[in-house]
A and B are shown apart, each in its own frame.
Chain A
Amino acid sequence: SQKIEQNSEALNIQEGKTATLTCNYTNYSPAYLQWYRQDPGRGPVFLLLIRENEKEKRKERLKVTFDTTLKQSLFHITASQPADSATYLCALDTGRRALTFGSGTRLQVQP
């Protein structure tokens, strides 16, 4: 079956450390993958897109990698801050004309 998996357990890290979130998928061959941030009571906010022919993409303190062989994307936040605490969702192009979203991983950055 087709699946997108993100760690359902919350990730707790100390301020200043690098947070790494994982998105694994099976039985898809996405042309691209996106990451979103969602705060409680709000809709998701687009952060980054990475294409299948790109290994890595950076934006300020954010870095995304995309390994189509492992069928995995890693999302890194360097020098994390309490304000980075939120749920992070990955979303894939799965051949349908709308994105398919993972269930998200909650990140908690402790001061």
Chain B
Amino acid sequence: GAGVSQSPSNKVTEKGKDVELRCDPISGHTALYWYRQRLGQGLEFLIYFQGNSAPDKSGLPSDRFSAERTGESVSTLTIQRTQQEDSAVYLCASSSKDPGDLYGYTFGSGTRLTVV
């Protein structure tokens, strides 16, 4: 596609439920990133995928968070047993280089997650 697509754009869930967020990167982009942005805050790194290499999961805040990526395409971020502190915008980005140094990242518009 022309850009990075994220779905859903908004998600309201009850505390304790599991949620799955989806990211479709730009075709041909080998690197994919997930970040979290709380209201009025900066971007917090969560996880990074590059091709078939093992993902860098060092930013995942707890074992309730996990992410998968199928080859160099779609990625899903799963949050189990959601807590109110998980409420944030979850941003996905992709880049054609590792780590996107020459070209920058292309971000999606994010999924706004609200845990009630």
Query: A104 CA to B50 CA in the complex, in Å?
Result: 26
Residue from A31, A36, A45, A99 whose CB has the most chain B CB atoms within 10 Å: A99
Cβ distance A75 to chain B, nearest Cβ, rounded Å: 14
**Which A residues from 6 to 56 make CB contacts under 8 A with B?**
31-32, 34, 36, 41-47, 49
Instruction: Compute the total of residue contacts between A and B using a CB distance below 8 Å.
Output: 61
Q: Interface size for chain A: under 10, 10 to 19, 20 to 34, or 35 or more residues?
A: 20 to 34
Answer yes or no: B33 CB below 8 A from chain A CBs.
yes
Asked whether A43 and B45 contact (CB < 8 A) given A31-B101, A98-B56, A101-B35, the answer is no
Interface residues of B in 96-114 (CB under 8 A from A): 98-110
Q: Is B65 an interface residue (CB 8 A)?
A: no
**Cβ of B48 and Cβ of A104 under 8 Å apart?**
no
Contacts of A100 in B (CB 8 A): 45
User: Contacts of B48 on A, CB cut-off 8 Å?
Assistant: 96-98
Q: Does B21 contact A (CB under 8 A)?
A: no
C-alpha spacing A42/B107, complex, angstroms: 9
Contact indicator B107/A43 (Cβ below 8 Å): yes
Nearest residue (CB) in B for A42 is B109
Query: Which B residues are CB-close (under 8 A) to A43?
Result: 4, 91, 93, 107-110
What is the predominant secondary structure among interface residues of chain B facing chain A? loop
Contact, CB under 8 Å: B104 / A34: yes
Contact of B33 among A31, A45, A98, A102 (CB under 8 A): A98
Closest Cβ–Cβ distance, residue B28 to chain A (whole Å): 17
Bound-state CA distance A42–B108 (Å) is 8
Contacts of B108 in A (CB 8 A): 43
Residues in A whose Cβ lies below 8 Å from that of B109: 41-43
What residues make up the interface of A, taking CB atoms closer than 8 Å to B?
A: 31-32, 34, 36, 41-47, 49, 89, 93, 96-104
